[in-house]
Amino acid sequence: MNAHMSPDEFRRHGHQVIDWIADYHERLESFPVLSQASPGNVRASLPADPPERGEGFESVLADLDRVIMPGITHWQHPSFFAFFPANASGPAILGDLLASGLGVQGMLWATSPAATELETHMLDWLATLLGLDPRFRSDSAGGGVIQHSASDAALVALVAALHRVSGGATETAGTAAGRFTVYTSEQTHSSVEKACRVAGVGSAALRKLRIDPATQAADAGHLADLLAADVAAGYTPALVVASVGATGTGALDPVGTLADLAHEHGAWLHVDAAWAGVAAVCDELRWINAGVEKADSYCTNPHKWLLTNFDCNAFWVADRAALIGALSILPEYLRNEATESGEVFDYRDWQVPLGRRFRALKLWTVLRWYGARGLRDHIRGHVALAQEFAGWVAADGRFELLAPHPLALVTFALRAGDAATRSALHAVNASGDAYLTHTLVNGRLAIRMAIGSVLTERRHVEAAWHAIQAQA
Ligand SMILES: *Cc1c(COP(=O)(O)O)cnc(C)c1O
């Protein structure tokens, strides 16, 4: 079996793979949500050396069931309530497959015009669906791009911010640690600190804003104090990151106030709405966008709660010149007429790597399959379930809600204390019937109930609640 897979062989095995995936989705509920594998189990079932002679594809599929499946935690399981959802959907899987089949690199407009133009257009569609300010659209000075992840979005926002705040000097001088400062709340995702390290300003540049204990939102007064003190001490504030739906509790920062303060000091305001942002497809939830119209950049992950398989982070800037200025380097071998004409976007200049997959295809297949109505129903269903779940928690005197829960994340604890909360969580997860994760809220251990799997119905939420109650 040394030859390439022929189109006929591909057709046959392709049908087998599609059947396998369809069967998997049908029998998801028969698996324990959390993999029961111990460290090393999966590798112990794999041969030590790669095969010398090619093998039949059937043997790979057989080993998928035998070796891989026991080491899978089932993120698409309807009783998966951990972290945040990572939606997969039929149209997204097929869109991704088409992208693989085409196998194009969309680094420049010229390397596949459709890859760039569909992406620009999908980000404009998404801006419409989410009700984002026209400043972020491609027909303004801004525009959108698909990043690998929200972490990449934070990194490129920081790099663009450093470029702008230093008047372009980062191009030639780099970023001296100890000169620039970055601000975000204690609740913000760790990707912001990682971005500081990667960009070279270092973790020491990061100032953590206090949070309001009741809402878990960033304290704008503290930002004002820190900015004034840093400027007085000779630092240059570069970036403020506001969260819309922080990872721990789903906290919503006062974006508009933080943006005003950032801009007073010449800093860039990036909004990380990785999980929650897509909820703005629903009119009644669009209030979560308050203040976003003042941001310099904004991102949300269709790969979390909007039915689009990882990876798909939608990232918009209001001033694309700052981003492109920070990241564009044009070596001779990439020169081409379209780039020189200035009439096209070359998305390599909007991201860290050069190469890029045709990810807009899966967003296109998703948006066309579901339509705005289907997307709204998807989000609304989960929000309604979460509100009902919070009602059950509030009605049981042994439990306590720990933070506001306007969307589909509910944080709660046992009144009996952290040890009781921890053991209830462990017992439920060990049973394999549901999977939930934890966070700290004002120093207390909290269970996070994140509702967002495509197949989750009321009965799954109810069963999880009964399992938790049984451990109280
Ligand atoms: C999940 C999450 C991230 C990280 O997302 P990636 O796309 O995996 O990098 C960042 N910020 C928030 C608020 C998140 O919920």
Which tens digit of pLDDT belongs to each residue from 401-451? 999 999 999 999 999 999 999 999 999 999 989 999 999 999 999 999 999
pLDDT at 342: 85
pLDDT at 330: 85
ω into 260 cis (within 30 of 0) = no
**Number of Cβ within a 10 Å radius of residue 97:** 17
Residues near ligand 1 (Cβ within 6 A) = 84, 149-151, 189, 191, 243, 245-247, 272, 274-275, 301, 313
Structure token digits, residue 181: 């400062």
Q: Kindly list the domain boundaries of the chain, sorted by start residue.
A: 97-364
Judge whether 244 and 187 are in contact, CB under 8 Å: no
Quote the CA–CA distance of 130 and 292 in Å, as a whole number: 11
Q: What confidence tier does 2 reach under pLDDT thresholds 50, 70, 90?
A: low
Judge whether 249 and 402 are in contact, CB under 8 Å: yes
Which tens digit of pLDDT belongs to each residue from 30-57? 999 999 999 999 999 999 999 999 999 9
Structure token digits, residue 260: 């005003």
Q: What is the mean pLDDT of the chain?
A: 96
Quote the CA–CA distance of 193 and 187 in Å, as a whole number: 12
State which of 83, 87, 149, 303 you would mutate to test the pocket of ligand 1, scoring each by most atoms of that ligand within 8 A of its C-beta.
Answer: 149
pLDDT at 293 over 90: yes
Give burial (CB, 10 Å; 0-12/13-18/19+) of 338. middle
Please choose, from the candidates 142, 129, 101, the residue with its C-alpha nearest in 3D space to the C-alpha of residue 307. 129
Q: What is the mean pLDDT of residues 81-103?
A: 98
State which of 247, 303, 309, 407 you would mutate to test the pocket of ligand 1, scoring each by most atoms of that ligand within 8 A of its C-beta.
Answer: 247
pLDDT at 333 over 90: no
pLDDT at 178: 82
Query: Is the model more confident about 147 or about 174?
Result: 147
Judge whether 305 and 409 are in contact, CB under 8 Å: no
CB neighbours of 271 closer than 8 A, spacing ≥ 6? 241, 242, 243, 244, 255, 277, 292, 295, 297, 298, 299
Which tens digit of pLDDT belongs to each residue from 195-216? 999 999 999 999 999 999 999 9
pLDDT at 334: 84
Quote the CA–CA distance of 443 and 25 in Å, as a whole number: 39
Residue carrying the six token digits 């904004």: 298
Q: How far is the CA of 439 from the centre of ligand 1 (A)?
A: 15
H or E segment and range at residue 309: none
Quote the CA–CA distance of 219 and 255 in Å, as a whole number: 11
pLDDT at 172: 67
Q: What confidence tier does 173 reach under pLDDT thresholds 50, 70, 90?
A: low
Q: DSSP assignment, residue 253?
A: -
Structure token digits, residue 63: 């080993």
Quote the CA–CA distance of 313 and 160 in Å, as a whole number: 17
pLDDT at 169: 79
Structure token digits, residue 277: 């942002």
**Number of Cβ within a 10 Å radius of residue 3:** 7
Q: What confidence tier does 115 reach under pLDDT thresholds 50, 70, 90?
A: very high
Closest residue to atom 4 of ligand 1, CA basis: 150
CA dihedral 327, 331, 337, 340 (to 10 degrees): 50
CB neighbours of 324 closer than 8 A, spacing ≥ 6? 349, 350
Q: How much of the chain exceeds pLDDT 70, in percent?
A: 99
pLDDT at 312: 98
Q: How far is the CA of 275 from the centre of ligand 1 (A)?
A: 7
State which of 75, 299, 301 you would mutate to test the pocket of ligand 1, scoring each by most atoms of that ligand within 8 A of its C-beta.
Answer: 301
The helix-helix angle for 150-165 and 191-199 (nearest 10°) equals 50
Which tens digit of pLDDT belongs to each residue from 353-364? 999 999 999 999
Q: Enter the pTM of the model.
A: 0.97
Q: What confidence tier does 1 reach under pLDDT thresholds 50, 70, 90?
A: low
Which tens digit of pLDDT belongs to each residue from 231-251? 999 999 999 999 999 999 999
Residue 254 one-letter amino acid: P
Judge whether 208 and 199 are in contact, CB under 8 Å: no
Q: What is the mean pLDDT of residues 283-309?
A: 98
Quote the CA–CA distance of 379 and 87 in Å, as a whole number: 12
Closest residue to atom 5 of ligand 1, CA basis: 150
Closest residue to atom 12 of ligand 1, CA basis: 274
Give the CATH architecture of domain 97-364.
Answer: 3-Layer(aba) Sandwich (3.40)
Q: What is the mean pLDDT of residues 277-293?
A: 98
pLDDT at 177: 74
pLDDT at 190 over 70: yes
Q: What is the mean pLDDT of residues 169-184?
A: 81
The neighbouring-strand residues paired with 137 are none
Q: What is the mean pLDDT of residues 295-301?
A: 98
H or E segment and range at residue 229: helix 220-232
Judge whether 186 and 223 are in contact, CB under 8 Å: no
Q: CA 270, 450, 411 angle in degrees (round to 5)?
A: 90
